[in-house]
Structure 1
Amino acid sequence: MGLIKTFDLFGIHKRLEKVNKQFREKVIQSLDEIGAECVDTALENADYDDPMGNRRSSIGYVVLDNGEEVNSGGFKQIEGSLGIKYGSQKGKDLAEELAGNHSEGFVLIVVAGMENAAAEEAKGKDVLTSSEELAKKEILKVLNKVQQEMKEEP
């Protein structure tokens, strides 16, 4: 008695490609949403002086997929601030520099690009602390949600 192949390898391959694409899209979308929430949280909880608006303008995020930037947000000049686009550019530059250190997997980078941001954090001020806490909490929820959604896909 011999064996007879009753499955289609090409069909299996196509299905795996579709599932992989859906998974990647869901993870990227979720990281983008978390990044935007982190920026909003950082701006809402800012408890430091920033008369030029550069520090707040330097807050933003990038989402990477195997080293390639797929989404970003924030880095917006704060309305009514005295600063021009200096803070925004500093934030983008720092995010780009950090992105260069990540060539594999999914990565969310949230930054405050002004040099004095770290000094403010060291003084106990909230520049990105609340955003970091939010990201840690939300990333686990998102991964569980994506995993559950993928199980439910037909």
Structure 2
Amino acid sequence: MGFTKKTPDSAFSNFLDDAKKAVIGRAVKAFIYVGEACLKEARLNGNYTDRTGNLRNSIGYAVLFNGEVMEESAFANTKGGQNGKKHLDSLKKNYQNGIVLIVSTGMSYAAYVEARNYNVLTSSELLANKLVPQIMKQLGFEMK
């Protein structure tokens, strides 16, 4: 009594490809969620006086998968928004592998404001460092 294979060779390969796409899709959605949370945190809890609105408008995020933009925050049509978009675009070129979340501000004086003990992106970074491991663990990823 023998066994006869009835499943095409490609069926198992297709199953694995579909499973991989589903896992990557869940991870990308998680990173988008974290990006939105970081953006909200930075814009609502920045404890500096934004006289022109440029600094808050220049804050944004992007989620990339192997260099391809999966999601990106919208920027206001202001000087700050234009600078934020330009800076984020320049950062995206540096990340061509894996799933990446970039949260940035496009105004050159943001570091100066942070150095004066104000919160521009610090609380967003802390939030991302907390949320990413939690969410990835819930999705079944092993964090190192």
Counterpart in 2 of 1:131? 124
- 1:23-58 CA distance string (max 9 Å, x none): 111111111111010010011211112111000000
State the secondary structure of the residue aligned to 1:50.
coil
Alignment check: 8 A CA contact 1:53 1:87 kept: yes
Alignment check: 8 A CA contact 1:36 1:74 kept: no
CA distance in 1, matches of 2:40, 2:95: 24
Which structure 1 residue ranges, 4+ long, deviate > 4 Å from structure 2? 2-8
- Confirm or deny that 1:75 pairs with 2:57: no
Long gaps (5+) in structure 1: 77-83, 149-154
Counterpart in 2 of 1:102? 95
Q: Percent identity?
A: 35
CA distance in 1, matches of 2:113, 2:50: 11
Counterparts in 2 of 1:1-154, with a 5 A limit? 8-76=8-76, 85-147=78-140
- TM-score, length basis structure 1: 0.84
Count of paired positions: 141
Long gaps (5+) in structure 2: none
CA distance in 2, matches of 1:75, 1:108: 17
Query: 1:99 offset after TM fit, Å?
Result: 0.8
